[in-house]
Amino acid sequence: MSDEIILTGDEKDCLQELMNISYGSATAAISKIIDRFATLSIPAIKTISAEDLTKHLLLKLKDNKTFFISNQLINGSLSGQNLFIIDSLSAKNLANEFGLDENEQNQEDIEDIVLEITNILSSTASSKLATLLNTKIGFSSPTINYINSKKDFDCDFECNYESIIVISTNLQFENQNINAELVFMKHKKSFEYLKQQLNEFLDEY
């Protein structure tokens, strides 16, 4: 029933490079703000169904991990949702990077820091992408959920997104075991707009 979102090879290349550039801005921002070196891996671009995304997220629950998912809504022509997914241990280490030592960390503080990173990464990367594509976007305040078991999982993506373009990357900090995933989800309409803008960009080059 869902019409597949398809990116051509060229469009995928283009998006990948644009995301790469956007991530550069995002990690530079982190570096300036907390004075720590971070890298975002080369983005892997997939178009999948909302169901598959849910499966992918639930897969993280194995191996006993608990994790945080924070999300930020994007408004405007590239509307959608950005997810930041980080396991509890990485989140604790991340809090360390932010200067919170072990005994100062409670769940609220950790959640706050995860939200902050989400804000920085998601908004910087998205804005940069928007600038590159000559368009404007706005952001909502990021919200956060602690996931302990299947029950905690509120999968409302399935209603809002038929197909999702998932641009995932791993965030890594030097000297620290911090692994996190950034996932960009786009609505079908903004996806069509995205394709359009990518092609305009490709035409310039």
Partner 1 sequence: MKYLVIDDSKMARRMTIKSLQNIISQEFEVFEATNGQEAVELYNTHQPDLCFMDLTMPIMNGFEATQAICDADEHANIVVVSADIQEHAIEKAKNAGAIGFIKKPVNEDNLKTMLEKLDLLS
Partner 2 sequence: MNTNNQLNNIIFNAVDNGIIILEKDLSIIGWNNWLELFTGKSEKEVLTQNLCELYPYINKQKLLRRIKTVLVTNHSTFYTMDQNNFLIDIPYNNITNSQFTSMQQNVTIVPLDIEKEQVCIFIYDNTSLSETNAKLNDLNKELQELSHKDYLTGLYNRRFFAEESTRAIAMSLRNNSEFSIVMMDIDNFKSINDTYGHSAGDTIIVAVANKLQELIRKSDIAARFGGEEFVLLLHEISSQNAMKVAENVRSMVQELEIETESYKIKFTISFGVAQFDTFKDDNNIEHTIARADKALYEAKNSGKNKVILAK
Binding site for partner 2 (CB under 8 A): 29, 32-34, 58-59, 61-66, 98-99, 108, 112, 115-116, 119-120, 123-124, 127, 139, 141-142, 148-151
Among partner 1, partner 2, none, what does residue 176 contact (CB within 5–8 Å per kind)? none
Q: Does 205 bind partner 1 (CB under 8 A)?
A: yes
Let me know: does 202 contact 11? Beta carbons within 8 Å.
Answer: yes
Q: How far is the CB of 202 from partner 1 (least distance, A)?
A: 8
Among partner 1, partner 2, none, what does residue 94 contact (CB within 5–8 Å per kind)? none
* Nearest to partner 1 of 6, 28 (CB atom): 28
The rounded distance, in Å, linking the Cα atoms of 48 and 57 is: 13
Q: How far is the CB of 174 from partner 1 (least distance, A)?
A: 10
Residues in binding contact with partner 1, number by CB under 8 A:
21
**What six digits make up the tokens of 65?**
């991990």
Among partner 1, partner 2, none, what does residue 146 contact (CB within 5–8 Å per kind)? none
The rounded distance, in Å, linking the Cα atoms of 121 and 53 is: 20
Q: Give the x-and-dash track for 8-47 against partner 1 (CB under 8 A).
A: --x--xx-xxx-xxxxxx-xx--x-----x-x--x-----
The rounded distance, in Å, linking the Cα atoms of 75 and 31 is: 27
Q: How far is the CB of 196 from partner 1 (least distance, A)?
A: 17
Coil vs helix vs strand at 45: strand
The rounded distance, in Å, linking the Cα atoms of 99 and 171 is: 18
In this structure, the dihedral spanned by the alpha carbons of residues 57, 73, 120 and 107, taken in order and rounded to 10 degrees, is -60
Q: How far is the CB of 189 from partner 2 (least distance, A)?
A: 24
* Nearest to partner 2 of 151, 203 (CB atom): 151
The rounded distance, in Å, linking the Cα atoms of 123 and 139 is: 7
The rounded distance, in Å, linking the Cα atoms of 144 and 187 is: 21
Angle between helices 188-204 and 9-34 (to 10 degrees): 100
Binding site for partner 1 (CB under 8 A): 10, 13-14, 16-18, 20-25, 27-28, 31, 37, 39, 42, 132, 204-205
